[in-house]
Amino acid sequence: MSGIFLRRGDELVAMVEVPYEAESVLQELLARYPALLAAGEDGGGGPWLLVRREAGLSLGDDATTHGYLDHLFVDPSGVPTLVEVKRSSDTRIRREVVGQMLDYAANSAARWGGDVMQRWFEEICAQRSEDPEKALLDAFPNLDNPSTFWDQVRTNLVAERLRLVFVADSVPSELRRIVEFLNGQMTQTEVLAIEVKQY
């Protein structure tokens, strides 16, 4: 028993933790509900705004190798937030996903830039029939100047001010130690491991 209960009238129902049926289920939840990752002011700089799912980028100098980041978000300060999702049952969560994430981070400034990220966000808004500037202000109501927001995103990319986030239903101790080590060594980039469980 998890120790988590749902109150239903006068009855308490014990919640049972269950694995996600597929990685795509967790990915869809994060895209629809970014607050699962960034809850309030203590959640890594406030709310996050989805820029793109499956954000593609070329890797290496010859640009023949391509990767796809699971989710790309930005926060109110224009800090790009790279998110990789793995179920705990996927053995790649222990080492391979770390190398993959560092590869994406190392190539993000050269391959994306603020213009690409802004275009991706505008494409998402067009799919939802939303005005991009209104969507930006709805997500970040305290934004001083929406017109210069993407300039700040570009500046952060160039300065390698990033946030790297590993998401799983359960974070293994090996990944936790790597995240702690990276945070101790990196000054411009924050690294997080977040558990999003399902009951």
Rounded Cα–Cα distance for residues 89 and 85 (Å): 12
Question: What residue has token string 């190398």?
Answer: 99
What are the CA-CA distances from residue 44 to residues 81, 84, 116, 140, 183 (Å)? 10, 16, 23, 14, 14
3-state helix, strand, coil in the chain (%, to 5): 40, 25, 35
pLDDT of residue 130: 93
**pLDDT by residue (tens digit) across 129-176?**
999 999 999 989 988 888 799 999 999 999 999 999 999 888 888 889
User: Looking at the DSSP assignment, which residues form a beta bridge with residue 110?
Assistant: none
Q: What is the pLDDT of residue 136?
A: 92
How confident is the model over 78-137, as pLDDT tens digits? 999 999 998 777 776 677 888 889 988 988 887 887 688 999 999 999 999 999 999 999
Which pair of tokens denotes residue 62? 């010859």
43 pLDDT more than 50: no
- Average pLDDT in the chain: 85
Residue 33 pLDDT exceeds 60:
yes
**Do 136 and 171 touch, CB atoms closer than 8 A?**
no
pLDDT for position 32:
87
Instruction: Check residue 40 and give its pLDDT.
Output: 43
pLDDT at 2: 62
Return the exposure string of 19-28: e unless at least 16 CB atoms fall within 10 Å of the residue's CB, then b. ebeebeebbe
pLDDT score of 39 more than 60: no
As a whole number, mean pLDDT of residues 70-77 equals 92
Angle at 167 between CA 2 and CA 79, to 5 degrees: 135
* Mean pLDDT across 46-62: 82
What's phi and psi for 33, nearest 5 deg? -130, 75
Q: Are 139 and 179 in contact (CB under 8 A)?
A: no
